[in-house]
Chain A
Amino acid sequence: MRRLIALSQETKVFLLMAAFGFIVAAIYWFVSYEPAGTILLAGFGLATAVIALLLARSDPTRRRAAAPRAEPPAPPTTDIGQADTTVSGTEGIDRPFVDETGRLPDPTIAPFAVGAGLALAATGLVFGLAPVIVGALPLAWGAWTWLSSAGEELIATEVEDAAG
């Protein structure tokens, strides 16, 4: 029980929903013996429980309890106009990020291309193979562009981390 109480609020939200899903699924089954609703409710409980477990495993409050006490972070600035160190740290590296105050990606047409390609391809379910073929082109190009730029960002981040 103490461990449950010590969990972060983030985890507790999902844990509460998981408990609710399982309890209501059990009640629902015994009052109705109706499978579709019971499966849906139990599925809701199970899915939220999985997320709660994953969150609990990476819970910062648990990590803090296990780790030696660290120095508290410096208080954030209150002066408007002064750079906020909590969102900076990418200066001095020729990188693909959009500006030097945060890790924001460059503007890219890739999401538009992927969206258009997917939408076109999906209409193939109604109109046959032709829209699938037409949609596959922007979809593939968009996905390639997307992955390439994500890869560049990853490399730039690693360079930055290595530079300290």
Chain B
Amino acid sequence: MTAADTPIGPAGASGAVRGERGDLLTWLTTTDHKRIGILYLVASFGFFLVGGLLALGMRAELTVPGLQFVDEQTYDQAFTMHGTIMMFLFGTPMVAAFANYLVPLQVGAADMVFPRLNALSFWLFLFGGVIVLSGYLAVGGAADVGWTGYVPNSELHFSTTTGTDLWIVGLALTGVATILGAINFTATIYGRRAPGMSMLRMPMFCWNILVASILILFAFPALTGALAMLLFDRRFGASFFDPSEGGDPVLWQHLFWFFGHPEVYILALPFFGIISEVIPVFSRKPLFGYRAMVFATIFIGAYSMSVWAHHMFTTAAINLPFFALSSFIIAVPTGIKIFNWVGTMFRGKLTFPTPMLFATGFIYLFVIGGITGVIVASPPLDFHFQDTYFVVAHLHNVLVGGSVFGIFAGVYFWFPKITGRRLDERLGKLHFWSWLVGFILTFLPQYQLGADGMPRRYPDYAANPGWTELNAISTVGSLLLGLGMIPFLAAVVLALRRPPDQGNDPWEANSLEWWTTSPPPHHNFTSLPPIRSERPVFDARESRR
């Protein structure tokens, strides 16, 4: 008898909640971490579709030189909103989505430490996102300053649109929401672990969420502060970043990247955690080198705070050897993780359902992103690649090849837990292969374009030899990425139309969330297995055999 077909206890089956109704009000008033996780998942996925459409528009514009079906201003707004949406309204809240749903379940808790604060985090994020997007309704249109908002471009005399002010206010709100969420995750992991779950028996996903939350606590205030200073410059006559009034534009870059580089790891670590959950399950082995993975996670977290200025090599205002060396060093713990994932798969009983396909795709694409990261961490090479498509390709290799593949691995893996239904395997595989091929076609040509010197953030380019062909390939790839979403959406719709048929543990997985029902009851557990390792459900299953 496996955990998947164990009988479900009466309290576990009911899940009824006093005062909850089965309508919109239920979602507006919920403080249940699982519902809030689903709200995050749906909202950030909605933003992802908007950001994706903007990307498709930009790629269409660049298919051949001289096309120009949008003007420069519209293009500026498109790349600003695309970057902003993907970073702040999709990637970061996706972390909150998975963390909300899974952390209490994985540590054996009934809910977050602060359930109402958790709900407030979500609403602040959502309203912040709406304010950012509402810039499109403002006089002058949406923000047009790039997702990095560099001064002096973002100062009032260069960006006169009200959309930029709304961008600042909206991002500040989402930043506060993210900080509140991180407080909740940290407090829950520290204070709500089930008896027996020591720190070194926690699932790797929770470790990664813990370190990402600590990064959020110390990185996001820098962004919120910088945004407040910028708003004061723009609206209230301050001059924090205006050199003609004694301000310092490089200070913006310091503050922004002190947030911005840890943000890369905030967007990567949780999905490292997801991969660390998925690979052992489909390799039928424990995670290779659990303690080394924990150490590597903490090391990456700490070190990511000291590499911010490798984004500022060309300012001539920073110490190049310090930031080059620290950026090279951070590749070591990342390499440990990749080695351990491969070590977990080595001689395992491998199977490749869709979550595992996305997990292996993640490793492959993230390694490319890591290697090209080491290239741009070298100042002489960075001087050449700065502001070219090489950087665009590198960033997407890390954040799409890494984070988004991790997100899809997680969605396919935990969908049966969240809904009691499994996503269709054939549609899932179609989704994976169209995304893998589409991704390679979109971004590999951009490395060559960047090396050839094609600058980013321009709506047109010269018809230099090879550029038109490489851009056309890139656009075809992006179209494949867009089309690849159709099987995914179809799989979700089809699955939700079926009755729940998955047991507690359809994958025969390891961590505590697979012990309870699918979906779990409101209070998550009616009982817990003994926790003697980082794989309590595996242990319980083995002890029954």
Contact = CB atoms under 8 A, between A and B. Distances in A.
Q: Do A and B originate from a single complex?
A: yes
Interface of A: 8-10, 13-14, 16-17, 20-21, 24, 27-28, 31-32, 34, 36-37, 40-41, 43-44, 47-48, 73, 75-84, 86-87, 98-99, 101-112, 114-116, 118-119, 122-123, 125-126, 146, 150
Interface in B118-173: 119-120, 122-124, 126-128, 130-131, 162, 165-166, 169, 172-173
B318 A104 contact: no
B18 A78 contact: no
Nearest to A97: B18
A50 B305 CA distance: 17
A78 B527 contact: yes
Contacts, number: 208
A31 B321 CA distance: 9
Contacts of A76: 194-196, 527-531
Category for how many chain B residues contact A:
35 or more
12 contacts: A13-B211, A17-B214, A81-B526, A84-B527, A99-B18, A99-B522, A108-B29, A108-B119, A111-B31, A111-B120, A114-B123, A125-B231
B522 A83 contact: no
Interface stretch (B1-9, B64-72, B343-351): B1-9
Contacts of B73: none
Nearest to B119: A111
A125 B26 contact: no
Interface stretch (B108-116, B456-464, B467-475, B491-499): B108-116
Interface of B: 6-12, 16-20, 25-26, 28-32, 109-111, 115-117, 119-120, 122-124, 126-128, 130-131, 162, 165-166, 169, 172-173, 190, 194-196, 198-200, 210-211, 214, 217-218, 222, 231, 235, 250-251, 254-255, 258, 298, 301-303, 305-306, 308-309, 317-319, 321-322, 326, 515, 522-523, 525-531, 540
Q: Is the interface of B mostly helix, strand, loop or mixed?
A: helix
A108 B43 CA distance: 20
Contact of B11 (A8, A14, A83): A83
Contacts of B217: 47
B272 to A, nearest CB: 17
Given A80-B527, A83-B9, 19 more contacts: A14-B214, A17-B298, A24-B305, A32-B322, A41-B305, A41-B306, A75-B530, A76-B529, A76-B530, A80-B6, A80-B9, A82-B9, A83-B527, A98-B18, A99-B17, A101-B11, A107-B31, A111-B117, A119-B124
Which 7 pairs, one residue from A and one from B, show the smallest C-beta to C-beta distance?
A115-B123, A81-B9, A119-B127, A102-B110, A9-B199, A111-B119, A32-B319
Counting chain B CB atoms within 10 Å of each CB, which of A27, A44, A111 scores highest? A111
